[in-house]
């Protein structure tokens, strides 16, 4: 059973960047796609993008194009999400999740524990 | 983009009662590519249902999903104390993947 462990909470200033990591253990890292989803306080989750850990190819949600970069390190079974030019509206809990089956457009299972990113001057 | 609307926003019920949660899509979702998640405070969402009606591993059988096209329902046959939480639907038929705003099930 795969487990996803994310990096610790971060506080960043407006205009800065943040890079969140997600380490997978317990299963074949390259079999399924990995996703990033964020959730602002009191709101529903918001899909940010997906990475194929095998080839490294990515697809991003349009609203993050130009500001987001997803990468992976197969040697450590870790995926990363970097978001640049942060603004206060980016304050949220950021989750990584693995696809529940093979493919880009799937459900999410399991999820990481979440990383709170706070953007404040 | 497929917009998902969930109703009601809040549902106040007592343990042992039946809960019916609705998820409506702005356009037809092919192949019933819809999932349901449960979220408790301070925790990530947990998958309950995928494919509109298939229970995920570990999902109790008091949870059931139904529906097709644009109208989907999550039913909890008899609420247990641990079922009071927020429930989200998610479509994975098309990009961008989208979630509903959630239904909070409160203890009455």
B29-57 pLDDT, tens digit per residue, is 999 999 999 999 999 999 999 999 999 99
Nearest CA to B105 out of B38, B56, B29, B24 is that of B38
Question: Is pLDDT above 80 for A27?
Answer: no
Distance separating alpha carbons of residues A93 and B41, to the nearest angstrom: 12
Please, which residues bridge with residue A69 across strands? A82
Cβ–Cβ under 8 Å, residues A71 and A80: yes
Q: Is A61 on the interface with B (CB under 8 A)?
A: yes
Q: Which two tokens stand for residue B37?
A: 């998640």
- Return the structure tokens found at A3: 């487990």
d(C-alpha B100, C-alpha B21), whole Å: 12
What pLDDT is stored for residue A102 in this prediction? 85
Q: What is the pLDDT of residues A57-115, one digit of tens each?
A: 999 999 999 999 999 999 999 999 999 999 999 999 999 999 988 888 999 999 999 99
Residue spans of chain B under pLDDT 50: none
Q: In the structure encoding, which two tokens stand for residue A61, read together?
A: 């949600």
| pLDDT value for B36 | 98
Q: Which of A4, A20, A45 to mutate to test the interface with B (most CBs of B within 10 A)?
A: A45
Residue A100 CA from chain centroid, whole number: 15
Residues of A in contact with B92 (CB under 8 A): 105-107
Instruction: Note the pLDDT of residue A121.
Output: 95
């Amino acid at each position: 059973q795969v487990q996803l462990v994310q990096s610790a909470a971060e506080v960043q200033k407006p205009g800065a960047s943040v890079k969140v990591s997600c380490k997978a253990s317990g299963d074949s890292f390259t079999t399924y796609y990995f996703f990033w989803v964020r959730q602002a306080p009191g709101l529903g989750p918001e899909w940010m993008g997906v990475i194929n850990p095998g080839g490294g190819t990515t697809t991003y949600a349009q609203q993050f194009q130009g500001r987001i970069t997803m990468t992976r390190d197969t040697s450590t079974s870790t995926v990363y999400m970097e978001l640049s030019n942060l603004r206060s509206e980016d304050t949220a809990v950021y989750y990584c999740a693995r696809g529940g089956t093979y493919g880009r457009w799937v459900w999410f299972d399991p999820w990481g524990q979440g990383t709170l990113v706070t953007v404040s001057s | 983009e497929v917009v998902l609307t969930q109703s009601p926003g809040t549902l106040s019920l007592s343990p042992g009662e039946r809960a019916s949660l609705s998820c409506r899509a702005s356009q037809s979702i092919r192949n019933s590519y819809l999932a349901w998640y449960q979220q408790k405070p301070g925790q990530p969402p947990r998958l309950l249902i995928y494919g509109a009606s298939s229970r995920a591993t570990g999902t109790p059988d008091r949870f059931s999903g139904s529906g097709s096209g644009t109208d989907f329902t999550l039913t909890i046959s008899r609420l247990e104390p641990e079922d009071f939480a927020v429930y989200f639907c998610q479509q994975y038929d098309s990009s961008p993947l989208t979630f509903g705003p959630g239904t909070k099930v409160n203890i009455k």
